[in-house]
Amino acid sequence: MPNAAPIRSEAPQARSAPDLPRGAQAGTPEGIEALIAAMTLEEKAGQLTIMPAALAPSLANAANPEAISGTPSQQEQAVREGRLGGVFNGDSADWHRRMQHVAVHESRLGIPLLFAADVIHGFRTIFPVPLAEAAAFDPELARRTARAAAEEATAVGLAWNFAPMVDVSRDARWGRGVEGAGEDVLLGSLLAAARVEGFQGARLDDADAMLATPKHLAAYGAAAGGLDYAGADVSERTLREVYFPPFQSAFGAGALSTMAAFNDVAGVPCHANSWLMKDVLRGEWDFEGFVVSDYTGDFELIAHGLAEDERDAARLAFAGGVDMSMSSALYARFLPDLVRAGEVDEAEVDASVRRVLKLKAALGLFEDPFNRLAPARTEKGHAPTHRELAREAARKSLVLLKNEGGLLPLARSAKIALIGPFAAGHDHLNGPWVLFGDPRQATSVEDGLRAAMADPQALTVAAGCAAEAEIAGGIDEAVSAARAADVVVLVVGEGERMSGEAQSRLDIGLPEPQRALVEAVRAVGKPTVLILKCGRAMTLDPASEASKALLVAWFLGVETGGALADVLFGDHAPSGRLPVSFPRHVAQSPFHYDRKITGRPPLSLQHGEEFKARYRESLNLSAWPFGHGLTYGDVAYADLDAGAGRMAWDGSLEVAATITNRGAREAEELVQLYIHDRAASVTRPIRQLKGFKRVTLAPGASERVAFTLTRADLTFVGPDLTWIAEPGRFTVWIAPSAETGVEGEFELLKP
Ligand code: GLC
C-alpha cells in the first residue's frame, strides 16, 4: 500500500483569495476559471484526491482494506489546507456537515467537498444484489430501487455513488458478477442506463440526486481464469461488442463519472491506458465527466510492473487519463512536483480540475453545499415504502429452475422442516457489498415462512451445518427434522463473503459440509424444495439437483423472508429468469449462452460424436440456460411467424409467436427474442438476445407476442472494427430461454 502518511501541508503559503467568487458564483464557468487561475498546484492536486472517510462504519472499512484515512481531525486539516477534495464511504451526516463547513468556510478557496460511497444495491434499505435484480429483467424496477437508494444515501450528504457496476460477467469463478447484470450485453446495457437514471434522478442538483459511476472501465469481468484482478486478454472486437456497450448506455443515460478497472487490457493496465481513457472514452464517446481510480489502482501500477515508484505511478496514471486518485494520495503527494519538473503539463491538470469543479457545480454544491445535508432530510432515513419495494424486487428476482409434480406452491398447513445454514438468522441475506445497512433489519427465511404459515409451530428449523463448516450433530438433527415433516425446504448455497471482490472460486458448487447435509436430508425421501442462495451461477451436486423443486434466491436483501414466503406459498408466482448461464461444470468457464459456434459444432445431443467441439465428459451445454425460469403456469410456444421472411435494408421485420398458458394458474412469462447471423465476415454468436417482453396469461389464455427487428438489431463489429450490418440469412427464435423456443428464419436484403 502507498505511504499511509495523511496528506500534509508542504507547500509555500498559498496566496489569500479575498477577491475570488464564492458560492453559486464560484460554480459558474467564469467562477471556475477564476478559481483555477488562483489555485496553487497543491490545491489543484487536492481537488483530484479523494480518501476513505476517517469516520466510517466498520463494514465500510472492511470493504476497503488498509484504508488510508488518518483521523477525522487530520482529514479536516487536509480539507482546511485545500489538500483533499472529497471522502467516501462515510455515513455520518453530522461529520459530513462538519467537513463541509471546514471546506466552505475555513479553507482559502471555499470549494465544497464531494461525499461519495458504494451504494451498490441500497443504503439503509437493502435491495436484492444487482445480479438478483437482473433476474427480474425489469429496467423500470432497477430504476426504482436505485432511486430509493439515492433518496436514502443523499439524506446523509452523499452526492456521488460508485455504482452501477456494469461489467459483463461470463465467468462464474469470478466473484464480482454478483454486483452486475450478468452475461448479456443487451440486458446489461438496459440495466446500466436504468440504474444511472435511478441514482441521478431528474436533475443532478436535486438534493436527492447522486452522480452515478458506471464501473469498472474496462473488461474487469474478463479476468483470466476468473481470478479477480487478473488481466483481460480480450480482442478489441470483443471489447467493442461486449464490454463497452453497457458503459456507452450508462453515459447515454447521463452518467458523468467513471472508474478505471484494476486489470490490464491486453497488457496495458486500465489505470495507465490512454487509448481507453482518452482515445475511446473522450475521443470516440465525447465523455465530459471525470475518471476516478479504483481505490489504489494508480499505486498498483508499481505491482503491475509499469511504474518504477509512487511518483512514476502518479505520472503514468495521470498521463493515462485518470483525473482523480482514490485512497493512494499519490496525486496530492506527487502531482505538484511532476508539474514543476515539467513531466506533467499544468494545462492537463487544469483540465482535470475543471471537470471535477464542473461536476461539483452540476451537483449544486457551489449553490448550496449543504443541500443534501438539511437536518430534515436526515431524519427521513428510509421510507417504509422502500421495504415494500424491496419485497417486490426480491420476489421478482427469484428464479424457479424446476418444479416437479407441481410441488410448489406449498400448502400453508404443511409441516415443514426448514434446513440449512441460511434457514435462520439475519446473516448472509444482504450480500457482499453492503456497507450501511443493518443486517438485523432483514427478515430471515424462518421468520418469513413462520409469518405465512397456518400454524407457525408447524415449522421446524435445523441448520445442519454452517456455510463452510460442519456442526457437531447438525446432520442428525436435520435428518430427524426431515423425518417428522411433510416437506423439506433446504436453504443452501454461498455465504455472503463467498462472492464479491477478491472472492474468485475454483469450485462453484456447494461447500462440502453442505453437500453432506443435502445428501443426508435427501436420503430421508421427503419432497424437497432446494433454495439456492448465491452470488454467481453455481453447479449442483446430484443430490441437490434431484430435489423436486429448485429456486435460485441469490441475496435478496432486507425482505428475504417475506419474498420467499410470498412465492413458496403462492401469493405470487415466481417470474425471474437466469441472467447468467449455470454451467454443467466449472471447467466450462468462462461459459455463456452467446458463445461462438466453432467450425465443428456437435450435430446432435448424442454422445460419442468424434472430432466435435465437446468435452469427453459432456457437451458444452448449460445445466440451466440463460433466460430460463418457470412460473406456476404451464406455458407453451408455437407458430413462429416471420412474415415474408425478408427485411429490406432500411426496413423492419415483425416476428411473432403464440404463447399459451396451459396451466391452471395465471402465468407471467418473459418472452425472449434471439437471432443468429448464419454467415458474416466475422464469426457470430450461437444466439444473441435482441428483445424481451413480459406477458401475463390467464389459465388457458393465448397471446400472439410480436417483436419488430430492424437492421440496427443485426449489427456487429466487422473486420475493420466498426459497427456494420451485412445482408444475409438469420435464424430467429421466440423463446423461454437461450436453449429452447420456436424457430424461424429471415433474410436481410441487400441495400
Ligand atoms: C473497491 C472496488 C470498487 C469500489 C472501490 C471503493 O476496491 O473495486 O468497485 O467502488 O474500491 O470502495
DSSP 214-270: -EEETTGGG-GGG-TT--B---HHHIIIIISHHHHHHHHTT--EEEE-SSEETTEEG
Q: In testing the pocket of ligand 1, which one of 501, 503, 504 has its CB within 8 Å of the most ligand atoms?
A: 501
- Please measure the distance between the N-terminal and C-terminal CA atoms of the chain and give it in whole angstroms: 58
Q: What are the structural domains, with CATH classification, of the chain?
A: 19-117+345-382 (no CATH), 391-588 (3.40.50.1700), 624-748 (2.60.40.10)
Ligand 1 contact, 179 CB (< 6 A): no
Mutation choice for ligand 1 from 162, 213, 270, 436, CB with most ligand atoms inside 8 A: 162
118 lines ligand 1 (CB under 6 A): yes
**Quick count: other Cβ atoms within 10 Å of Cβ 745?**
14
Atom of ligand 1 nearest to the CA of 89: 12
Closest ligand 1 atom number to CA of residue 295: 11
Ligand 1 pocket check for 215: Cβ under 6 Å: yes
Residue-wise pLDDT tens digits, 433-480: 899 999 999 999 999 999 999 999 999 999 999 999 999 999 999 999
**What separation in Å is there between the alpha carbon of 9 and the centre of ligand 1?**
27
Residue 703 CB coordination number (10 Å): 18
Separation between Cα atoms, residue 723 and residue 407, nearest integer Å: 48
Strands (E), 264-405: 264-265, 268-269, 290-292, 325-326, 399-403
Residue with CA at minimum distance from ligand 1 atom 2: 294
pLDDT at 2: 72
Probe target for ligand 1 pocket from 51, 88, 118, 220, with the most ligand atoms within 8 Å of CB? 118
C-alpha cell at 712: 440496427
- Catalytic residue annotation: 294
Nearest ligand 1 atom, CA 63 = 12
Cell of 680: 458474416
Parallel/antiparallel/unpaired status of strands 528-533 and 742-748: unpaired
Residue minimizing CA distance to atom 8 of ligand 1:
294
Ligand 1, atom 11, lies closest to the CA of 295
* Cβ–ligand 1 contact at 433 (below 6 Å): no
The closest alpha carbon to 374, from 124, 113, 158, 157, belongs to 157
Q: What is the largest CA-CA distance in the chain?
A: 83
Ligand 1 centroid, distance to 289 Cα (angstroms): 19
Judged on CB neighbours under 10 Å (0-12, 13-18, 19+), 266 is middle
Nearest residue (CA) to ligand 1, atom 6: 295
Nearest ligand 1 atom to alpha carbon 118: 10
Instruction: Name the closest-CA residue to atom 7, ligand 1.
Output: 295
Task: Find the 296 Cα to ligand 1 centroid distance in Å.
Answer: 9
Ligand 1 touching residue 294 (CB < 6 A) = yes
Q: How far is the CA of 295 from the centre of ligand 1 (A)?
A: 6
With a 6 Å cutoff on the Cβ, whether 668 touches ligand 1 is: no
Dihedral, 362, 30, 345, 9 alpha carbons, nearest 10:
-80
Q: Which of 64, 161, 503 to mutate to test the pocket of ligand 1 (most atoms within 8 A of CB)?
A: 64
**Ligand 1 centroid, distance to 169 Cα (angstroms):** 17
What is the per-residue pLDDT for 12? Answer: 46
> CA-to-CA distance for 593 and 580, rounded, in angstroms?
8
**Which positions of the chain have pLDDT values less than 50?**
5-6, 8-13
Q: Are 561 and 443 a contacting pair, CB within 8 Å?
A: yes
Centre of ligand 1 from the C-alpha of residue 118, in Å = 7
Q: What is the pLDDT of residue 11?
A: 46
Best mutation site among 68, 210, 295, 499 for ligand 1, i.e. most ligand atoms within 8 A of its Cβ?
295
Residue 342 has a pLDDT of 98
Q: Is the peptide bond before 699 cis (omega within 30 degrees of 0)?
A: no
What are the CA-CA distances from residue 364 to residues 209, 253, 382 (Å)?
A: 10, 19, 23
Residue partners of 442: CB distance under 8 A and separation at least 6: 126, 426, 429, 430, 557, 558, 559, 560, 561
Report the distance separating Cα 751 and Cα 747, nearest Å: 12
Ligand 1 nearest atom to the CA of residue 262, by list position: 8
CB-based contacts of 553, cutoff 8 Å, min separation 6: 132, 397, 398, 491, 493, 531, 532, 533, 534, 560, 564
Give 654's contacts (C-beta < 8 A, 6+ positions apart). Answer: 643, 706, 707, 708, 709
Angle at CA 221, nearest 5°, toward 217 and 223?
Answer: 105
Residue 215 alpha carbon, nearest atom of ligand 1: 9
The pLDDT value given to residue 243: 98
Residue 21 φ then ψ, to 5°: -65, 150
| Residue identifier of the C-alpha nearest atom 1 of ligand 1 | 295
Grid cell in block for residue 334: 506527487
How many angstroms does the Cα of residue 490 sit away from the middle of ligand 1? 33
- Cα 167 to averaged position of ligand 1 atoms, centre (Å): 13
167 ligand 1 Cβ < 6 A? no
User: Which residue reads 459497427 in cell numbers?
Assistant: 723
Does 582 sit in the ligand 1 pocket, CB within 6 Å?
A: no
Spatial separation of the C-alpha atoms in residues 250 and 213, rounded to whole Å: 9
Backbone angles phi, psi at 223, to 5 degrees: -50, 130
The Cα-based distances of 322 to 285, 318, 370, 420 in angstroms read 16, 5, 28, 46
The CB density around residue 227, as the number of other CB atoms within 10 Å, is 16
Q: Environment class of residue 330 by beta-carbon count within 10 Å: exposed (0-12), middle (13-18) or buried (19+)?
A: buried
Question: What is the rounded distance in angstroms from the CA atom of residue 665 to the CA atom of residue 335?
Answer: 66
Tell me what pLDDT residue 390 has: 98
Place of cell 448424442: 606
How far apart, in whole angstroms, are the C-alpha atoms of residue 258 and residue 401? 36
Cβ–ligand 1 distance for 295 under 6 Å, the answer: yes
Cell matching residue 310? 509512487
Measure 163 CA to ligand 1 centroid, in angstroms.
9
Sign of CA dihedral 333, 335, 339, 341: positive
326 alpha carbon to ligand 1 midpoint, in Å?
Answer: 9
Going by DSSP bridges, is the β-strand pair 688-697/667-677 parallel, antiparallel, or unpaired?
antiparallel
Residue among 351, 305, 361 at smallest CA distance from 324: 351
Atom of ligand 1 nearest to the CA of 213: 10
C-alpha span between 446 and 422 (Å, rounded):
9
Name the strand (E) or helix (H) holding 639. Answer: strand 635-641
Name the one residue in this structure whose C-alpha cell is 411467424. Answer: 641
